[in-house]
Amino acid sequence: MNELTHFLNGAMTNGTSGRFSDVFNPATGEVQSKCPMASAAETTAAIEDAAAAQPAWGARNPQRRARVMMAMVGLMNRDMDKLAEALSREHGKTIPDAKGDLQRGLEVIEYCIGAPQMLKGDYTDDAGPGIDMYSMRQPLGVVASIMPFNFPAMMPLWHVGPALACGNAVVLKPSERDPSVPLMLAELFIEAGLPKGVFQVVNGDKEAVDTLLDSEIIQGVSFVGSTPIAQYIYSRATANGKRAQCFGGAKNHMIVMPDADMDQAADALVGAGFGAAGERCMAVSVAVPVGEETADRLIEKLVPRVEKLRVAPYTDGDDVDYGPVVTREAKERILGLIQSGVDQGADLVVDNRNFSLQGYEDGFFVGPHLFDRVTPDMDIYKTEIFGPVLSCVRAGSYEEAIGLAMDHEYGNGTAIYTRDGDTARDFAHRINIGMVGINVPIPVPLAYHTFGGWKKSMFGDLNQHGPDSFKFYTRTKTVTSRWPSGIKEGGEFNFKAMD
């Protein structure tokens, strides 16, 4: 049995707590490795070592820190195939999807090469008589990142990259379900020139998390996961005086107007709803066609597309549409919600509750499911399913459709498909959701913009990556400077002349 490690002070380090968590092969259901669960003492030691390493790293000028990011880009591209295979093996997503995970993280590292520009302060000459005023951005010190299972490369890179580029030390707590890629990335950072101890990877559970949240050394906390845990982490971190950004759940609606290209809309819904087995916070899980005729046309287009989806392990090739979900518990939860939809009266037009893959009967595979005539009072509408399930909620008008998205407690992402510019512009301006797509199903901003939802999808004031990340991981210091001039007499300043 393969036993994983932590990554501490520049090296893979065995855990000492004696506690482990099983890491499964989602395709077979078999345990493939053991992940150590750090004790409070181990976590505290990692934090203290990071604190010892941070001052020298923070004192290194931004251009030299950016060179580490530049080297990291080359190393990730060199090892892309190896990283993608390790990611797919533990998470279950297809190789193309795994490479997409890595690529979107890599783009943030590329953005961090511009750290010298992002960290420049402001300067005002002669703010008063003989007075100059300037501001500088300085690192927080040691920060913590607590990351989810569904993007084991992208999510850590979105947070660790900017934090390091700003001069902080980082203690990363990756998901215990798929920790190998974060450990591999930590090794690559050392190869790229990052000093030892500046980036620590501590595997663990609530004990490690609470130690991070309660540590007086940790100055900032970033988290991505479910809304209840996001609320918990945000509350505990801020109660302890820390800066926090915590990103939670989602229920993303895609409105389909009568004038939309129905083939384009159907293709978008299938890709956005079922890609990565629906285990994405930006997955479109609710289609909202406007009008009965639109709904009928959309369902007619969707059914054959959903039925043709190929579900298989990543080892079956690049034509696999999606693989298993991450754990047996996730599979059981998804199937339970599907059954609740049937029990509550939704029309299950594509039913794969009995899906089984020959040779992989013990794997965590869930077949694609399509519901029609879902109503807002149903559990499958209210709950983030995080699985390959698409629900169709029929709306009688544009106002009813936009109201559904606006009234939902989550506000991560949304989209509209239409040929009408006025409708699209109205939608973009009125919707109370953080990321909006117009004829784009998953509106994830590129690295030089910021990513973040509204309502119960996000807790905190600053978003992920882009300019917000450099604001989050630094403090602004403003200096007011006065250098009075004297009158030289005999090579000395005559300070009496200043009186």
pLDDT digit string (tens) for the chain, length 499 residues? 799 999 999 999 999 999 999 999 999 999 999 999 999 999 999 999 999 999 999 999 999 999 999 999 999 999 999 999 999 999 999 999 999 999 999 999 999 999 999 999 999 998 888 899 999 999 999 999 999 999 999 999 999 999 999 999 999 999 999 999 999 999 999 999 999 999 999 999 999 999 999 999 999 999 999 999 999 999 999 999 999 999 999 999 999 999 999 999 999 999 999 999 999 999 999 999 999 999 999 999 999 999 999 999 999 988 999 999 999 999 999 999 999 999 999 999 999 999 999 999 999 999 999 999 999 999 999 999 999 999 999 999 999 999 999 999 999 999 999 999 999 999 999 999 999 999 999 999 999 999 999 999 999 999 999 999 999 999 999 999 998 776 555 555 554 544 4
What pLDDT was estimated at residue 129? Answer: 87
CB 187 within 8 A of CB 10: no
Which secondary structure element, helix H or strand E, spans residue 292, and what is its range? Answer: helix 292-307
What pLDDT was estimated at residue 484? Answer: 78
Q: Quick one: the chain helix, strand, coil %, rounded to 5?
A: 40, 25, 35
CB 385 within 8 A of CB 50: no
| Residue (of 12, 329, 58, 351) closest to 200 by Cα position | 12
What pLDDT was estimated at residue 485? Answer: 73
Q: How far apart are CA 355 and CA 310, in angstroms?
A: 12
Alpha-carbon separation of residue 89 from 21, 35, 95, 322 (angstroms): 17, 15, 9, 13
Alpha-carbon separation of residue 436 from 100, 274, 413, 444 (angstroms): 21, 19, 6, 9
Residue 446 is classified by DSSP as: P
Q: Which bin fits 387, alpha (ψ -120 to 50), beta or left (φ > 0)?
A: beta
Domains of the chain: 2-248+457-480 (3.40.605.10), 252-438 (3.40.309.10)
Active site residues: 281
φ, ψ (nearest 5 deg) of residue 446: -75, 170
DSSP reduced 3-state for 82: helix
